Amino acid sequence: MKRIVVVGSGFGGLQAVTHLDGMFRRDRDVEILLLSDQNYLLFTPLLPQIASSYTDPRHIVQAVREIRGRKRFRFRREAVRAVDAANRRVMVDSGSIEYDALILASGSRTEFFNTPGARENCWDYKSLQQAVELRERIIDLCEHADHTEDSAARRSMLTFVVVGGGYTGIELVTEMRDFLFGYAARKYRGIDAAEIRLIVLEAAPDLLRGIGPKLAAHARKRLDVSGIEVRTSTRVTRVLQGSVEINGNESLAADTIIWTAGVRASELIESLPGLHDRIGRAVVNAHLQLEGHPEVFVIGDSAAAVNAQEAPRVAPVAIEQGRIAARNVAHLWHGEPLDTYEYASKGMLVSLGMNYAVVKIAGIQISGYFAWLFWNAVHLYKLVGLKKQVQVAGDWMLGFIFPRDAAIVRRPRGCKLCGTAKQELAPRAMDTGTF
Ligand SMILES: Cc1cc2nc3c(=O)[nH]c(=O)nc-3n(C[C@H](O)[C@H](O)[C@H](O)COP(=O)(O)OP(=O)(O)OC[C@H]3O[C@@H](n4cnc5c(N)ncnc54)[C@H](O)[C@@H]3O)c2cc1C
């Protein structure tokens, strides 16, 4: 019996196991085991819509056991703590699991570039939990700003800084804009729209690297007319609780600073033997194999393939590499030549909130309402499973007809009420907002 272990239930890992499952369907001597610390696939392109209460968090995740259907691969919810490549085993909390071939697709984490205070004081935006926390945080601040009489404190509560002008930062800030101006400024009677500030800080001279100058200019114009302040060639040099230092000489007061400026390979990948690039990704050959360990493949956000080091860290790259790694396991065992990964851009689609997007695909560049319709159609189609497609389409339709849902369902980190001792939470002290 041979065992193939795949780590990570993201885009790359799930593509790899489903492909392996198809190739080894009749080979009962091969066991395929997926290990992941999450029991679902997170559809990250819709994550920004969680912060704006446009889409329900449960609608953008699909449980692994649902995706598996009648396929025969096994799934274990485990965090892999280390890879012992010399002895061909992965270490998990309950012991070790041996493998004959290993595909690592454990994604990435946020990189703060050693910016003082950033890790401690910024909000991260990579996981579903972080997205839900930020949603609750935004609503919580609106609740407090609604009745706070100190105008400086109110302004700070209503100032949101997004560090990073890549697609995550831009999609997130435009979603937040839709919520804050479209909902909060209307429903919270103590909040004046003029007091809401959304600021994007980007170290590079341009936004949305990779989309091209024409669409980047369209996006910039759209942000300007939406009232979002954009500062390019602006480096964050320090983050404190409640303020951010810019270019070492300017301070900006903001209660919420969200960091979307960089990613780094997961700790598991950084601990692998062999070469790593500047953001910790494992350097693999053109067949996605780890140097000195041909039975170990690294894919997706975790991998820097020698001939595609500049490939962006996006889902289509992880999916394509998942397919190639799966095929190469079979080729390796059958003594066949291995497939090579070549990066080819599948285009770039960036939503700029309700009714506007910029799209670059197959040499065509469009922006505006039709680009936004196209963005919606593509993402709905890419969602895994009819149930999720119906749920998300339902959320989008309801978002047109009804106001957003602004109920706080769990107390967010930094909530002003949470710091208060339980007995002090008398009804009088409880904030109910102004009606
Ligand atoms: C907010 C946001 C928006 C994005 N929008 C887009 C977009 O619009 N289009 C696009 O193409 N890309 C987008 N991306 C990027 C895209 O999500 C990634 O490039 C893609 O998910 C990478 O796939 P992956 O399989 O390498 O990793 P992931 O999809 O991140 O999956 C990693 C998996 O590994 C698991 N894992 C991690 N460590 C361990 C461990 N030690 N043990 C066990 N399991 C582990 C994780 O739980 C997860 O299941 C976005 C990302 C974010 C954060």
Q: Is the CB of 353 under 6 A from ligand 1?
A: no
Least confident of 168-172, 405-409, 428-432: 428-432
Kindly list the distances between the CA atom of residue 247 and the CA atoms of 195, 233, 238, 251, 348, in Å, as whole numbers in the listed order: 25, 9, 9, 9, 30
Centroid of ligand 1 to alpha carbon of 337 (angstroms): 29
What is the arithmetic mean of pLDDT over 94-118?
A: 96
Closest protein CA for atom 51 of ligand 1: 44
> How far apart are the C-alpha atoms of 41 and 63, rounded to whole Å?
6
Ligand 1 atom closest to the CA of 108, numbered from 1: 30
Centroid of ligand 1 to alpha carbon of 371 (angstroms): 25
- Identify the burial level of 435 via C-beta atoms within 10 angstroms of its C-beta, where 0-12 means exposed, 13-18 middle and 19 or more buried: exposed
- Identify the burial level of 182 via C-beta atoms within 10 angstroms of its C-beta, where 0-12 means exposed, 13-18 middle and 19 or more buried: middle
Q: Give strand pairing partners of 252.
A: 244
User: What are the DSSP E strand ranges found in 56-195?
Assistant: 61-63, 74-77, 80-84, 89-92, 95-98, 101-104, 108-110, 123-124, 159-163
Supply the pLDDT for residue 307.
82
Supply the pLDDT for residue 416.
61
Best of 301, 302, 359 to mutate for ligand 1, by most ligand atoms within 8 A of CB? 301
Residue 209's pLDDT band (boundaries 50, 70, 90)?
confident
Whether 109 and 266 have beta carbons less than 8 Å apart is answered as yes
Higher-confidence residue of 308 and 187: namely: 187
pLDDT digits (tens, 9 = 90+) for 52-69: 999 999 999 999 999 999
Nearest to 282 by CA among 297, 262, 261: 297
Instruction: Evaluate if residue 310 carries a pLDDT over 60.
Output: yes
Ligand 1 atom closest to the CA of 315, numbered from 1: 11
Q: Is the CB of 318 under 6 A from ligand 1?
A: yes
pLDDT digits (tens, 9 = 90+) for 332-391: 999 999 999 999 888 899 999 999 999 999 889 999 999 999 999 999 999 988 999 999
Centroid of ligand 1 to alpha carbon of 298 (angstroms): 14
Whether 76 and 33 have beta carbons less than 8 Å apart is answered as yes
- What percentage of the chain has pLDDT greater than the value 70? 94
Instruction: Evaluate if residue 419 carries a pLDDT over 90.
Output: no
Instruction: Evaluate if residue 398 carries a pLDDT over 60.
Output: yes
Supply the pLDDT for residue 333.
94
Which amino acid would we find at residue 217?
A
Supply the pLDDT for residue 338.
97
> How far apart are the C-alpha atoms of 179 and 182, rounded to whole Å?
5
Centroid of ligand 1 to alpha carbon of 79 (angstroms): 15
Supply the pLDDT for residue 426.
30
Centroid of ligand 1 to alpha carbon of 209 (angstroms): 19
Q: Is the CB of 35 under 6 A from ligand 1?
A: yes
Supply the pLDDT for residue 418.
60
Supply the pLDDT for residue 433.
29
Supply the pLDDT for residue 349.
94
